[in-house]
Chain A
Amino acid sequence: NAGVTQTPKFQVLKTGQSMTLQCAQDMNHEYMSWYRQDPGMGLRLIHYSVGAGITDQGEVPNGYNVSRSTTEDFPLRLLSAAPSQTSVYFCASSYLPSGYEQYFGPGTRLTVT
């Protein structure tokens, strides 16, 4: 199993550009989520999904969209990048019954200039 994979690993965007961060898992997990982590800070939940076709907002959802068309994939879209979105983004997944035992991807480091 590859676990949770994220692409790209690094990305530089100009203000106003849009892009999609990819996340995939091969563990058949129902629950998937996106976090952002700023320097010296903990992780903040952006969006999450409890299954294909079901998504919901987390703590800091503004400026981001998600969709969950399959169990495996959970892409995160930045609609119009802003410097405040410069951060490291982590995707995670878990079995619903296991709740908080989440598996995290390696992260995407995004810089918006």
Chain B
Amino acid sequence: LAKTTQPISMDSYEGQEVNITCSHNNIATNDYITWYQQFPSQGPRFIIQGYKTKVTNEVASLFIPADRKSSTLSLPRVSLSDTAVYYCLVGDAKLNYGGSQGNLIFGKGTKLSVKP
């Protein structure tokens, strides 16, 4: 599985756009990039997943350059409720039966603090 590197923490203010970048230099051809959000005392929540270029949903956008060695999670106009830890994961999204792809690795994530 490709190792990911992301900033330990970030600060922002309400109403700003926040971009969190994840580095994954050893990403494989079959790997997808997935982001999760975790609030204190809760389990992580899936935010977005992508393979290349740009993916957008109602919560966030995910930008992936052509070489796919990094990705950027973009949160538009954050609010205090977006204060959370954000995890970047890279791996084969189609888990094969009994395959090693079942071994999903979360790093320490990026702690985003949104201030008023």
Q: Do A97 and B94 touch across chains, with their CB atoms under 8 A apart?
A: yes
Among A96, A103, A104, which residue has its beta carbon within 8 angstroms of that of B97?
A96
Complex Cα distance, B45 from A105, in Å, reads 10
Report the minimal beta-carbon distance from A56 to chain B, rounded to whole angstroms. Answer: 6
Q: Which of A97, A101, A104 contacts B49 (CB 8 A)?
A: A101
- In the complex, residue of chain A having the shortest beta-carbon distance to the beta carbon of B104: A45
Residues of B within 8 A of A107 (CB): 41-43
A-B contact pairs, 28 of them (CB 8 A): A4-B43, A33-B102, A40-B108, A42-B87, A42-B108, A43-B87, A44-B106, A45-B103, A45-B104, A45-B105, A45-B106, A50-B95, A50-B98, A50-B102, A51-B97, A98-B93, A99-B94, A99-B101, A100-B34, A100-B46, A100-B104, A101-B34, A101-B46, A104-B42, A104-B43, A104-B44, A106-B43, A107-B41
The one of B43, B99, B105 that contacts A59, using a Cβ cutoff of 8 Å: B105
A90 at the interface (CB under 8 A from B): yes
Q: Is there an interface contact between B43 and A100, defined as CB atoms closer than 8 Å?
A: no
B7 contacts the other chain (CB 8 A):
no
Given A99-B93, A100-B93, A101-B34, the answer on whether A42 and B106 have CB atoms closer than 8 Å is: yes
Interface residues contributed by chain A, number (CB under 8 Å): 32
Interface residues of A (CB under 8 A from B): 4, 31, 33, 35, 40-45, 48, 50-51, 54, 56, 58-59, 90, 92, 94, 96-107
Size class of B's contact patch? 20 to 34
B111 CB, nearest partner CB in chain A, Å: 9
> With A50-B95, A96-B95, A98-B93 in contact, is A43–B106 under 8 Å at CB?
yes
